Structure 1
Amino acid sequence: LDAPGWYADADDTPYLPAVADAVRNGRVLSVLYRRWREPTDVRRRLEPYGLVLKAGRWYVVAGPGPRTFRVDQILRLDPCDEEFTRPGDFDLAAYWTAYRRDFHERLHRGEAVLRVAPGTRLTGAAGEALASGGEREADGWTRVTVPIESVDRAHDAFLVHGAAVEVLEPAELRDRIARTAGALARLYTRNPPDPAVTGRRDRPEGHLPGAGDPVTG
């Protein structure tokens, strides 16, 4: 598997082999784990049921519970001689699907109404909403309602699409993007740069064109 993106570093997971071994052999783990809330560093006894690789990040699903832990947040790991029995009715894929659905429901606390130009590809929950439907308008654009986490995150996510995405609602998000677009217009129309200073520079050898996957062939 080559899960991480081209421009993202993989997580540092020195304890991944030990966790995987405990999953295979049904052995309990004692870990020092770093979580986001206080106290941040806590001791946990884990019965590791399975491992999940999601977008280049490893998670271990462990009992009792079960609960989900990031492998890269394990600060110390002490194997134990104690064995455990994984529940016979535990289904890792089913658990992860439910966990992911619950995560998105907690994460997306609002909605935005968009107009999306033909051929535009959105990502994440917005992309799923666009793929599942929407109202096709006479000019070929699609009106769609998408979940958003917050105005701040939605502003950044939709702004990268430039004029291919128009936010209709909520008004706060539309106004925020309009202000940013106005600021960009003012920035790029005043004091044109000196061509002698900002002339074209050759790309270094091996430079990949664009921000997507490398072009081959």
Structure 2
Amino acid sequence: MKSSRLVSILLLLQTRGRMTAAQLAEELEVSVRTVYRDVEALSAAGVPLYGDAGHAGGYRLLDGYRTRLTGMTAGEAQALFLSGVPGPAADLGLGSVLAAAQLKVRAALPAELRAHADRISGRFHLDAPGWYADGDETPYLSAVADAVWNNRILDIVYRRWRVPTDVERRLEPYGLVLKAGRWYVVAGPGPRTYRVDQILQLTPSSEEFTLPDHFDLAAYWTAYQRDFHARLQQGEAVVRLAPGVQLARQTVAGGHTDDEGWTVATVPIESLDHAHAEFLCLGTGVEVLEPPELRARIARTVAELAERYGNSGVPGGD
């Protein structure tokens, strides 16, 4: 967008000093002609920059001119990275500094860019959690975030799904991840992933830890999700799908159309219990061919339903 380029030119000149149009064009991956137009727009907006001709020429800002962006505090800079997600910023205790950061950025922009920023904030809003998620109670989120920022060890009581359910853990919190409205802390040793809402007790420690040199939070989370989905899909089923029927989540592989127009395909399944419930939701739009135990289980359920409901209340029944 033009507005983002104008801000980039302003900050490049402020931090690097004199730059030629060619250097700016290479940095911004645009043409030199585009840089000329952007510089004219900045000048028209009241930014005091000028250009010098010659071998040592280029554009630079008037001596002493600084945008007010440099007045941001460390806390506001951290909050700014969450500026598109005000809910999580508030969860982490950064709501007030986020508002202050946005105010400073807005005040530092030329009138043209300020109007554009106001228009974006009025037209776009991000609400990450799903419709049917009430949101998890995370009373210890701020304490976990503080330990992440300061490399402090945490002693917690954690509730997991298997027995024993409530266990004590000593964590080295490497980072926080927000996924579909739910907070996770990635922590050593391991590292391993813990749901923040499942922390029952938390005791902060003054003891510090050293983050592993090559740890990359984004790379770890990508690998973790890939492994999670691989562990979920532990089996396969062969099904027939009626015309127009689609599966909500499963990836269909090797599908072909039979003589009746139904699609015969192999789909991954998490478990017999999960597949049983999923396929029953499709009613008469699906027929399970394999595995035999899943087909037999669905047949028993259908027979039980038929016996329970019988023909009573069915139009045309006896």
- Scaled by the length of structure 1, the TM-score of the pair is 0.74
Q: Tell me which stretches of 4 or more aligned residues in structure 1 moved more than 6 Å.
A: none
Alignment match, 1:162: 283
The reply on whether 1:173 has 2:298 as its aligned counterpart is no
Alignment match, 1:21: 146
The reply on whether 1:66 has 2:191 as its aligned counterpart is yes
Higher helix share: 2
Q: 6-15 or 167-176, which moves further after superposition?
A: 6-15
Conserved in 1, the CA contact under 8 Å of 2:144 and 2:173? yes
Counterpart amino acid of residue 273 in structure 2: D
Alignment match, 1:122: 247
Conserved in 2, the CA contact under 8 Å of 1:51 and 1:60? yes
> Taking every aligned residue pair, what percent have the same amino acid on both sides?
68
How far apart, in 1, do the equivalents of 2:305 and 2:127 lie? 37
Other structure's SS at 1:7 match: coil
Conserved in 2, the CA contact under 8 Å of 1:134 and 1:142? no
Distance 1:187 1:38, change over 3 A: closer
Distance 1:121 1:15, change over 3 A: farther
Aligned-residue offset at 1:74:
0.6
Q: 155-164 or 76-85, which moves further after superposition?
A: 76-85
How far apart, in 2, do the equivalents of 1:119 and 1:89 lie? 48
The reply on whether 1:136 has 2:256 as its aligned counterpart is yes
How far apart, in 2, do the equivalents of 1:57 and 1:117 lie? 36
Aligned-residue offset at 1:14:
1.1
Higher radius of gyration, 1 or 2: 2
> Unpaired runs of 5+ in structure 2?
1-125
How far apart, in 1, do the equivalents of 2:142 and 2:247 lie? 36
- Scaled by the length of structure 2, the TM-score of the pair is 0.53
Conserved in 1, the CA contact under 8 Å of 2:255 and 2:266? no
How far apart, in 2, do the equivalents of 1:104 and 1:45 lie? 27
Alignment match, 1:183: 304
Other structure's SS at 2:144 match: helix
How far apart, in 2, do the equivalents of 1:144 and 1:175 lie? 19
1:47-84 alpha-carbon deviations (Å, 9 max, x no partner) = 11122233333221101210111111111112222233
Higher strand share: 1
Counterpart amino acid of residue 8 in structure 1: A
1:163-201 alpha-carbon deviations (Å, 9 max, x no partner) = 2222110111112212222333444443229xxxxxxxx
- The partner residue of 2:271 within 110, 133, 150 is 150
Number of corresponding residues: 188
How far apart, in 1, do the equivalents of 2:223 and 2:261 lie? 35
- The partner residue of 2:172 within 17, 22, 47 is 47
Counterpart amino acid of residue 149 in structure 1: E
What value does the CA root-mean-square deviation take over the aligned residues? 2.4
Other structure's SS at 2:147 match: helix
Alignment match, 2:236: 111
Determine which structure has greater relative contact order: mean sequence separation of CA pairs < 8 Å that are 6+ residues apart, divided by chain length: 1
Alignment match, 2:47: none
Conserved in 1, the CA contact under 8 Å of 2:185 and 2:195? yes
Alignment match, 1:76: 201
